Structure 1
């Protein structure tokens, strides 16, 4: 099995295999008998100091580590753009639609498994526009939820990355994946998680987290 890092270094969004990225991420891992059914929350858009390869995203990774299903905040143009997609092959799918956002905006993301596809909805603010896309990923069993910062030739110079009102659902009855602390890749990130609760109904776990903040890189 490939690790997340080895997979993403080879298949990161729009990057060539020879480009090295710097990674900071928190990960929630399911027991092998369970799979994720939905993942939603609100991302607070940080400042963008300059045009550069800043990719900030919540996402889901499957058991076969064949790619990442993600809602990516992209800073390459010098203005933030956010859109949803599957990176990068097996299957090969077109990237979804998206829109520009600015520092201080909020974007609500929702990723939900259906009978034939996963559906992503992104909405800007409480009354802004929204986009919806579907991805033929129902054959994938997603067992990892990630809150990630992916940087190439730039540093973490944009301040904290904040996610609020996070709701994650999975099949099964084990709730420890929610209530235990997330994996902190390489212990690289100062982070805070608050307001965690978990419940079970009809063989579905609902995990609620008031906020997840990737605060800064550890020195």
Structure 2
């Protein structure tokens, strides 16, 4: 199911189970493409088992799917893993691990030739997966909350030390305010800086906080 141009894990659910969305989105000019996306996610509390999907992700120009690092609350314990949802191409989901409130999980997604490489790290625990997505041109970077049958009852979702790179020289996608889907979220950004070197834009954001629903 494509919903506000975001194809996410809700696509695996029945059409009757519509997700509620909160997300910030950075959109590139048509001449540029994302090259990497990294940062740390601060793990919030999990009130109960439910369809909580919290994730950073990249979406391509053809809106054929989303490449994401998903914090999943369905089992009643947070689990985080990387993957592509859902078809075109059809790829197996990557590896992951359980995590708890108060943990800090670093995520790194980097284009590496014909593949994208994802690494998740919590303390001494690291998992790395490779996805055959090099043919995709990713032009949207998202910080998303996707909820089905549950509410935003876990508190703020915080990302720190975010670094996003793209091809090109236009930095406005970084320094302008991100799209706040349906103006649905209270959010805060700090420490936004953009630089250009060798036809690569580097966008650094000290913190991105999805604070609460409006």
TM-score (norm 2): 0.97
SS at match of 1:51: coil
Tell me the residue number matched to 2:77: 79
Tell me the residue number matched to 2:140: 144
Q: Counterparts of 2:124 and 2:157 in 1: how far apart (Å)? A: 21
CA contact (8 A) 1:40 1:166 kept: yes
Shift of 1:17: 3.0
Tell me the residue number matched to 1:173: 169
CA contact (8 A) 2:2 2:11 kept: no
Tell me the residue number matched to 1:210: 206
Trace 1:126-145 onto structure 2 (pairs within 5 A).
Answer: 127-145=123-141
Instruction: Quickly say closer, same or farther: Cα 1:77–1:3, change in 2 above 3 A.
Output: closer
Q: Counterparts of 1:17 and 1:128 in 2: how far apart (Å)? A: 40
CA contact (8 A) 2:174 2:203 kept: yes
Shift of 1:15: 1.9
* Pair 1:8-2:7 in alignment: yes
* Pair 1:93-2:91 in alignment: yes
Q: How many residues align?
A: 214
Instruction: Quickly say closer, same or farther: Cα 1:171–1:4, change in 2 above 3 A.
Output: farther
CA contact (8 A) 2:41 2:158 kept: yes
Q: Counterparts of 1:65 and 1:107 in 2: how far apart (Å)? A: 27
Mind listing any 5+ residue stretches in structure 2 that lack a counterpart?
none
CA contact (8 A) 1:12 1:87 kept: no
TM-score (norm 1): 0.95
More strand by share: 2
Tell me the residue number matched to 2:101: 103
Aligned-residue CA RMSD (Å): 1.4
Q: Counterparts of 1:5 and 1:106 in 2: how far apart (Å)? A: 29
Mind listing any 5+ residue stretches in structure 1 that lack a counterpart?
none
For residues 71-97 of structure 1, the C-alpha deviation after alignment (integer angstroms, 9 at most, x for no partner) is 000000000000000000000000000
Tell me the residue number matched to 1:46: 44
For residues 104-144 of structure 1, the C-alpha deviation after alignment (integer angstroms, 9 at most, x for no partner) is 000000000011200000001xx320000000000000000
Trace 1:11-50 onto structure 2 (pairs within 5 A).
Answer: 12=10, 14-50=12-48
